[in-house]
Structure 1
């Protein structure tokens, strides 16, 4: 049986969900971002218990088809940006259509209706979050980050970053270093 779970965004989320479900005595066949497959069927009582438990960790069981599709879109984008460093060999619309076996216009309309932003805007926001993360690690130059995340230029990345955050990448990086330095002084 498949369970769809909202707000699973990273490997730690998968570990928490796996651990908690196993503590309930539920055997898992597989676990991915936003999706768990159990070996046995889950009855209504167990499903309610799972929903309450997951909610205490900030996760939410998704029962409706629209919600499942939205979560699949988000998970594919997060995985693409945060784990595969945007290794996209086709445009995003074709990628999502292919992965979800659905026309992109349907996916786009559904996403915009439910989330209030376009898929493209969500994709950009995820890329900017990844840029922030890479800036914090301080292991790559801005041009390496731009290349890794498929930006056409450092200038384009910088402009998009400033438009979203209100800061240039270097200003963001300097602010984070100052905040870290102040914390270390305590």
Structure 2
């Protein structure tokens, strides 16, 4: 039996879900971001108990088909941007469509209707968050970051970064170094 969980976006969330399943004596065959597969069919009472326990951890068991689909889209995007080191060889839209076995236009329309932003805008937000993280790690230069995040050029990354954050990547890097320096001197 597959169950879908909202806000399950990290390894820490997976651990929380494993803990809750074990507490209820449920056995899982797989746990992925946003989805668990349980060996047993569970009763409505047990499902409600799991839902309540997950809610205490900030997670939400999903029942609505649209919500489940939106969460799947978000998880595919988060996985592609935050947890994969591979540079996509095709468009994000093709990857999302292929992984979820739906037409991209259909996915895009539902996502926009429910979330109030486009899938593309959601992707950009996450790419910029990943860029911020990579800039602060200071292991890659901007050219390498742009390549890794599938930008056509450093200029394109810089323009989007400034549009989303209001700062240039180099200014953001300076602020990050100053902040780190200040924290180390406390």
Structure 1 spans left out of the alignment, 5+ residues: none
- Check whether the contact 2:87–2:147 (CA below 8 A) recurs between aligned residues: no
- Check whether the contact 1:2–1:35 (CA below 8 A) recurs between aligned residues: yes
**1:78 maps onto 2:91 in alignment:** no
User: In structure 2, what is the Cα distance between the partners aligned to 1:86 and 1:75?
Assistant: 16
| Deviation, structure 1 residue 86 | 5.6
| Deviation, structure 1 residue 11 | 1.6
**1:180 maps onto 2:150 in alignment:** no
User: In structure 2, what is the Cα distance between the partners aligned to 1:120 and 1:30?
Assistant: 29
Shifted more, 26-35 versus 46-55: the winner is 46-55
Counterpart of 2:168 in structure 1 is 168
Counterpart of 2:33 in structure 1 is 33
TM-score (norm 1): 0.95
Shifted more, 111-120 versus 90-99: the winner is 90-99
User: In structure 2, what is the Cα distance between the partners aligned to 1:85 and 1:123?
Assistant: 16
Q: Deviations over 1:96-151 (max 9, x none)?
A: 22111111111111000000000000011111111011112111111111111111
4+ residue segments displaced more than 3 Å: none
Counterpart of 1:60 in structure 2 is 60
Structure 2 spans left out of the alignment, 5+ residues: none
| Deviation, structure 1 residue 180 | 2.1
User: In structure 1, what is the Cα distance between the partners aligned to 2:4 and 2:119?
Assistant: 20
Counterpart of 2:109 in structure 1 is 109
- Check whether the contact 1:158–1:168 (CA below 8 A) recurs between aligned residues: yes
| Deviation, structure 1 residue 85 | 3.5
| CA RMSD after TM alignment | 1.2
User: In structure 2, what is the Cα distance between the partners aligned to 1:85 and 1:105?
Assistant: 27
User: In structure 2, what is the Cα distance between the partners aligned to 1:11 and 1:37?
Assistant: 16
Number of paired residues? Answer: 186
User: In structure 2, what is the Cα distance between the partners aligned to 1:125 and 1:99?
Assistant: 21
- Secondary structure of 1:30 counterpart: strand
User: In structure 2, what is the Cα distance between the partners aligned to 1:130 and 1:84?
Assistant: 11
Counterpart of 1:47 in structure 2 is 47
TM-score (norm 2): 0.95
